[in-house]
Amino acid sequence: MHMINFNEPPCVGTKIKYIEEAIASKKICGDGQFTKKCNKWMEDMTGIEKAMLTTSCTHATEMAALLAGIKPGDEVIMPSYTFVSTADAFVLRGAKAVFVDIRPDTLNIDEKLIEDAITEKTKAIVPVHYAGVGCEMDTIMDIAKQHKLMVIEDAAQGLMSTYKGKALGTIGDYGCYSFHETKNLSMGEGGAILIRDRENIERAEIIREKGTNRSKFFRGQIDKYTWVDAGSSYLPSELNAAYLWGQMEKADDIYKDRMKSWNLYYMMLEDLEKQEKLKRPVIPKDCVHNAHMFYIKVRDLEERTRLINYLKEKDINAVFHYIPLHTSPAGKEFGVFYGEDKYTTKESERLIRLPLWYGLKESDVAYIAETVHDFWK
């Protein structure tokens, strides 16, 4: 038996052809033909006003923090059960991360706990769409409107998912996608920022282009470009964009392939949920997910450790996920947990992610599901 990897980066047949095309074009820095194609694909798919590839989802979130005017002393509300980048982007601006508890069903931020955590220092709410399943965005947007707060969606895992028919990443003021090698579509390292409101586009272009108005210059809107704002370089290489473009062309095939594996896991593990051995993912009725992740939740940390080791012995690489940020050294320094940690730590200790990637064989999914059954025999 071969080792079944937890993840394999998505790969399609056109990858070398497009990378060679990018090289032949004599333009391999940012914002060439492939970046433009990728941006347009995201805009067409999501209906967003503007989408721009970035060097990572972390950088997209940093851009959003700059655009939102986050300053030292500000507070930003987010879940603790998330990747470190969610907090990093705001901490770099001198803000404090205010962590609230998650819902036990979706592991998303508990929208009912947000309002109590708001102070006069709060500037933004950052919902994280865990496993590509949407947060309760209507409630979050209502709270934000009432308290005049920005909403920055961490949709790192949310590409091609929707909430009430709207693409994740397009509902808040800004949305952030990831194209890391672990994501449904990948460029190795990369991401994108989505900008909902037209009046924020020009400043976003400037920040992304080192704080210059170079984009306007290339469009012929000004006769020379100059430094106009504080920014950085958030443009990915055309080589990465070319690799990504091949997958965007095949996005529906990748989606269907992942969904087939997800549905097979879901069906094959149903009896174990009925026997109360494990819990399967919950998808609320307003959400359409993207098969980014298939996880199960077992009784506790001890049982999880035994199951991960058991699967490894059977050549299956399954992994746990985030260690809650508020328990980490930097989380304690730069953040604070508001309210009670009723579910964040408990649920994070129960969760196991099973292998799921484009091209995973049906027979391998069946073998994994059978091996999970064998653990409880």
Q: What is the pLDDT of residue 141?
A: 98
CATH assignment at residue 264? 3.90.1150.10
Query: Closest Cα partner for 239 from 33, 31, 19, 40?
Result: 19
Residue 156 lies in a domain: yes
Residue 151 lies in a domain: yes
Instruction: Give the span between the Cα atoms of 106 and 285, in whole angstroms.
Output: 12
| CA 182 from centre of chain | 10
Contacts of 75 (CB under 8 A, 6+ apart): 95, 96, 98, 119, 121, 122, 123
In the chain, the amino acid numbered 126 is V
Residue 371 lies in a domain: yes
Q: What is the pLDDT of residue 262?
A: 98
Instruction: Give the span between the Cα atoms of 221 and 215, in whole angstroms.
Output: 9
Instruction: Give the span between the Cα atoms of 158 and 49, in whole angstroms.
Output: 18
Asked which of 232, 249, 266 is the last residue of a domain, the reply is 249
Instruction: Give the span between the Cα atoms of 247 and 240, in whole angstroms.
Output: 11
Q: Are residues 332 and 203 in the same domain?
A: no
Residue 3 lies in a domain: no
Element holding 166 (H helix, E strand):
strand 166-167
> φ and ψ at 314, to 5 degrees?
-100, 20
Q: What is the pLDDT of residue 326?
A: 98
Q: What is the pLDDT of residue 250?
A: 96
Query: Closest Cα partner for 76 from 62, 65, 84?
Result: 65
Q: Are residues 158 and 54 in the same domain?
A: yes
Q: Are residues 190 and 300 in the same domain?
A: no
Q: Are residues 68 and 156 in the same domain?
A: yes
Task: Assess contact for 95 and 75: CB atoms under 8 A.
Answer: yes
Q: Are residues 225 and 271 in the same domain?
A: no
Residue 282 lies in a domain: yes
Each residue of 79-98: pLDDT tens digit? 999 999 999 999 999 999 99
Q: Decide: helix, strand or coil at residue 273.
A: helix
Q: Are residues 115 and 237 in the same domain?
A: yes
Q: Are residues 266 and 233 in the same domain?
A: no
Quickly count helices (H) and strands (E) in the chain. Answer: 14, 13
- Side-chain half-sphere exposure of 291, counting CA atoms within 13 A: 22
Distances (CA, A) of 64 to 123, 233, 268: 12, 14, 41
Task: Assess contact for 76 and 90: CB atoms under 8 A.
Answer: yes
DSSP single-letter state for residue 115:
G
Query: Closest Cα partner for 129 from 194, 185, 190, 82?
Result: 82
Domain residue limits at 197: 15-249
Pairing mode, if any, of strands 162-163 and 166-167? Answer: antiparallel
Q: Are residues 71 and 193 in the same domain?
A: yes
Report how many domains make up the chain: 2
Q: Are residues 238 and 316 in the same domain?
A: no
Q: What is the pLDDT of residue 222?
A: 83
Residue 7 lies in a domain: no
Q: Are residues 255 and 223 in the same domain?
A: no
> φ and ψ at 246, to 5 degrees?
-55, -40
Q: Are residues 338 and 239 in the same domain?
A: no
Residue 174 lies in a domain: yes
DSSP single-letter state for residue 319:
B
CATH assignment at residue 106? 3.40.640.10
Q: What is the pLDDT of residue 116?
A: 98
Asked which of 249, 284, 310 is the last residue of a domain, the reply is 249
185, burial (CB in 10 Å: exposed 0-12, middle 13-18, buried 19+): buried
Asked which of 249, 264, 281 is the last residue of a domain, the reply is 249
The tokens describing 304, both together, are 């999880």
pTM across the whole model: 0.97
Q: What is the pLDDT of residue 151?
A: 98
Residue 2 lies in a domain: no
Q: Which residue has the tokens 């709060």?
A: 122
Q: Are residues 147 and 202 in the same domain?
A: yes
Query: Closest Cα partner for 254 from 326, 154, 359?
Result: 359
Low-confidence ranges of the chain (pLDDT < 70): none
Cite the DSSP H helix spans in 160-213: 201-208
- Side-chain half-sphere exposure of 224, counting CA atoms within 13 A: 2
